[in-house]
Amino acid sequence: MHTPAPTLHGILETALYVADLDTSRRFYRDVLGLEPMHDDARLSAYALAPAQVLLLFERGSTGETVRMRSGTIPPHGGDGEQHLAFAIASDALDAWERHLADLGISIEGRTDWPAGGHSIYFRDPDRHLLELATPGLWRNY
């Protein structure tokens, strides 16, 4: 018999690993309107919502333990084309589609979910699949 897990309060950080950090910084700024709250040679950190952070790491920069005065961060990484969904308001989908079209970004897919949500899918410079999703996608969104 084991004790139940303590309560989780959400996902604080999500990380994508990119080939060229400067190219990705420009994409996430120009396409998604994100401004970094932290930038250095190996990563950029973006506040998405209260207690939600997107981290972009230069691919290959996270293979060694990072040692700081305050502690250590173990190695991590991710290969291949990853997926990330951003929550948007129901009435913002058309504006996002126009914005992406104005920037020449192709929408690769569209889904109308049974609970009433809608998603559109497109790629970042590293071919990560990005999704913009309205409420009605999941039971809790």
Dist CA 77 CA 126 (whole Å): 14
Give the domains, in start order, of the chain with CATH numbers. Answer: 11-60 (3.30.720.120), 81-141 (3.10.180.10)
* Residue 12 DSSP label: -
pTM here is 0.93
Per-residue model confidence (pLDDT) at position 85: 97
E strands, the chain, where?
13-18, 36-39, 43-49, 52-58, 66-68, 71-73, 83-87, 109-112, 118-123, 129-133
Residue-wise pLDDT tens digits, 51-94: 999 999 999 999 999 999 999 999 999 989 999 999 999 999 99
Q: How far lies 122's CA from each of 2, 36, 83, in Å?
A: 43, 21, 10
